[in-house]
Amino acid sequence: MTFLELNGLRKHYHSVRAVSEVSLSAERGEFISLLGPSGCGKTTTLQMIAGFVEPSSGSIWLDGQPLTTVKPQNRGLGVVFQSYALFPHMTVAENVGFGLDMRKIREPERGRRVRDVLELVQLEQHRDRLPAQLSGGQQQRVALARALVIAPPLLLLDEPLSNLDAKLRAEMQLELRRIQRSFGTTTVMVTHDQDEAMALSDRIAVMDSGRIVQLGRPQDVYERPATAFVASFLGSTNLICGQLRLSAAGMQLVVSDRVALPCPDSTGRAGETAWFSIRPEKIRLVGDGSGETGHLKGKIVMRVFCGDRWIYELDTDVGRLVLRVQNQGHPADEGRTAGLTWNLGDMISVEGGHA
């Protein structure tokens, strides 16, 4: 049964349309990310759920009850801000227990709930420290504990990991998911970080220009992007445009007088213009006696070492393509001409060519 439901949410600031017709439903216990670039409307949508911004139109329902006209302090939601917003003069335990104090929760119930949530976020041993004595990751967990200790029906996260360095952010993604699953709290997170959204979410809502342009499980949205924008924003991709032509060998994508690529037969009708997305990890370098010639030839103009993988850029007759190859031996040299090949099923037809 739907637990959180957004129906036709809109927000206008005079002539500026921040959010246009956002509709979304979440099941109890589900983790949903609103993913998109700056200005796409994701934070405004979260603020409307929290009650900090009043919708121009539309409705919000939580567990079957209307939420749109309820004041923020009466919604009972847990919110973790990008800045964490910890009280610097309060200890960890006092920060976590603040929401319970506002709700007149007395001892021993207050102490038990603070202790339980601090154990869950693995900060019980730091309960008497001030925020300035904590690392960034520890401060983030204090903010999360403070939001969860009130047992909110809904947890809202606004770029919760953006202030952490890359290594700590990756560690905290796993920690955040563990904590959310332990509590079973329905969660909506705003982020512009694609890796974060894919690592944490049950479903991702990709937003652009105030609208949700695709909603689905991380692996589905990544593997089957609906538009060029989604393909390019959720990870990196190669976009190839051409005209469809039916030949004796099947459907082809005619890119130029020199290039006609095989493509899936179900992508459209002959004569139509079509765009395809091919992920960098789906393309293979071939040649050097392998017996494969590939769909294209390209010259390696750049290679970058990333530890577990190499990233290559090749100039081809369809433009510059990017490849990701696992680090499994000697890399291909810059300046070399190589064949490129991929499975037809990895050519994904997408709408629009402007990513």
Token pair for 129: 């420290």
Start-to-end CA distance of the chain, whole Å, equals 35
Read off the pLDDT of residues 92-131 as tens digits, 9 standing for 90 and up: 999 999 999 989 999 999 999 999 999 988 899 999 999 9
Please compute the mean of the pLDDT values over residues 180-202 and round it to a whole number.
Answer: 93
In this chain, the answer to whether the domains covering 2-232 and 233-350 adopt an identical fold is no
206 alpha-carbon distance from chain centroid: 7
CA 276-344-314 angle, to 5 degrees, is 65
CA 327-329-331 angle, to 5 degrees, is 75
Could you say which of 3.20.20.70, 3.30.2290.10, 3.90.1530.10, 3.40.50.300 is the CATH number of the domain covering 2-232?
3.40.50.300
Domain boundaries, the chain: 2-232, 233-350
233-350 in CATH: which number?
Answer: 2.40.50.140
User: Do the beta carbons of residue 38 and residue 196 sit within 8 Å?
Assistant: no
In the chain, alpha helices (H): 42-50, 92-102, 109-120, 136-148, 166-183, 194-200, 218-223, 228-233
209: closest CA among 58, 6, 47, 21?
21
Handedness of CA 294, 280, 213, 229 (dihedral sign): negative
Read off the pLDDT of residues 252-310 as tens digits, 9 standing for 90 and up: 999 998 899 999 877 788 989 999 999 999 999 987 655 567 889 999 999 999 999 99
Amino acid of residue 198: M
pLDDT bin (cut points 50, 70, 90) of residue 162 is: confident
pTM of the predicted model as reported, rounded to 2 decimal places: 0.90
